[in-house]
Amino acid sequence: MKNFGKLGIILGLISFLFIAGCQSGADDTDSQEEETDSQEDVEANHEEEGHHDHGDEEASFEDAPENIQIEGLSDHYHTGDVFKLEAVSEEDLDHWHWYIRDSSEEEWTVAEDQYEDSYIGDANVDGQEVVAVLYNDDHEPVAKSPVIEITIDDHDGDVYEGYFDDEDVEDRDISDWAGEWKSVYPYFEEGALDEVYEHRAEESDDMSFEDYKEYYDTGYATSVNNIEITEDGEFTFHDGDETYSGTYVYDGYEILEYEAGNRGVRFIFKLEEGDDEAPQNIQFSDHIIAPQASSHFHLYWGDDRDELLEEVDHWPTYYPVEWSEEQIVNDLLLH
């Protein structure tokens, strides 16, 4: 009898443990189901916040009004450059999508993970097109930007190196240089361009890093850190704390022969009227020999036209004010 009593206690204990285990398993299942439901809620919220299916949007945004402005586009990029575009709108909405295509003959595709009012991309396809679209809370397009084209120019070709025929040279209008420009000399003084000279020294058989630093210290040196040029030919020089202006008219071009065997073209403008400090002559050199917007240039200025043409050691160099230090360095590395 005593053995039967002990057996009953053991069986009762086993039953209790089995029931408890089943309840625990049920609780775990409920917990997993709740976790799954919670994850589905998060994903649903994610969809509601703008990361939803884009199929209908891609087909409909082309009818949206074109009243979004795009800022940050450079005249050109080099292969592999990172570019950043900013969409500017007066609408009080923040549901953005960006669409891209490699050419106008292809279909638009949505740029994944680009849901803010800015777009960051890699410049790898010349002629790639980008458009920004703003949607309301019902996922309806309310505005779009103009189609932005990404231009890649790696400066290949004989012309950039100074090898061309006379008949290839054409007159150019001041609009090729219109804009706001900044000198690279402050970057040089800060050491921001040392990477460029280290690279060139590694590629050179007869010039060291120090040689290049001395060469560009003479070439870039200027106190005129900013220049503004209008399409009407007005130049404004910011020379230290002093500012002076003048209006210039086109005065032809001159082809120069260099000791190295290559050549260059100076496009010349003469002063029509302006402040006393404004130079009588301004000469552009930018490795371009026919009408084309400039992305940077070497500038010569002075009062004697012919004497200025003899200057080959001092050539202050200017880039668009919106270009970053990284863009300038990348551009110089390709020269």
pLDDT digits (tens, 9 = 90+) for 133-142: 999 999 899 9
Q: Where are the domains of the chain?
A: 1-48, 55-150, 158-333
Burial of 279 by CB count in 10 Å (0-12 exposed, 13-18 middle, 19+ buried)?
buried
Residues 74, 323: contact at Cβ < 8 Å?
Answer: yes
pLDDT in tens, 10-38: 445 545 444 555 454 445 545 455 544 54
Q: How far is CA 129 from CA 62, 75, 333, in A?
A: 14, 14, 26
pLDDT in tens, 161-207: 888 889 999 999 999 999 999 999 999 999 999 999 999 999 999 99
Query: Who's near 53: CB < 8 A, 6+ residues apart?
Result: none
> Strand runs (DSSP E) across the chain, as ranges?
69-71, 82-88, 95-101, 109-110, 118-122, 128-135, 141-144, 148-150, 179-183, 224-229, 234-239, 242-257, 263-274, 281-285, 297-302, 317-320
Q: 3-state DSSP call for residue 41?
A: helix
Averaged pLDDT of the chain = 85
Cα separation, 303 vs 52, in Å, equals 64
Of the candidates 160, 182, 201, 161, the residue with the CA atom closest to the CA atom of residue 317: 182
Tell me the mean pLDDT in the region 105-121: 91
Measured in degrees and rounded to the nearest 5, phi and psi for residue 193 equal -100, 5
Tell me the mean pLDDT in the region 92-108: 93
CATH 2.40.128.20 applies to domain 158-333: yes
How far is C-alpha 254 from the chain's CA centre?
33
What is the pLDDT at residue 101? 96
DSSP 166: G
For residue 282, pLDDT beyond 50: yes
pTM: 0.62
For residue 39, pLDDT beyond 60: no
Name the CATH superfamily housing domain 55-150.
Immunoglobulins (2.60.40.10)
Residues 144, 69: contact at Cβ < 8 Å?
Answer: no
Query: Who's near 260: CB < 8 A, 6+ residues apart?
Result: 162
Amino acid at 335: H
Cα separation, 299 vs 333, in Å, equals 20
Residues 258, 312: contact at Cβ < 8 Å?
Answer: yes
DSSP 167: G
pLDDT in tens, 44-60: 444 444 445 554 454 47
Of the candidates 332, 235, 312, the residue with the CA atom closest to the CA atom of residue 277: 235
For residue 244, pLDDT beyond 60: yes
What is the pLDDT at residue 152? 85
Of 317 and 163, which is predicted with more confidence? 317
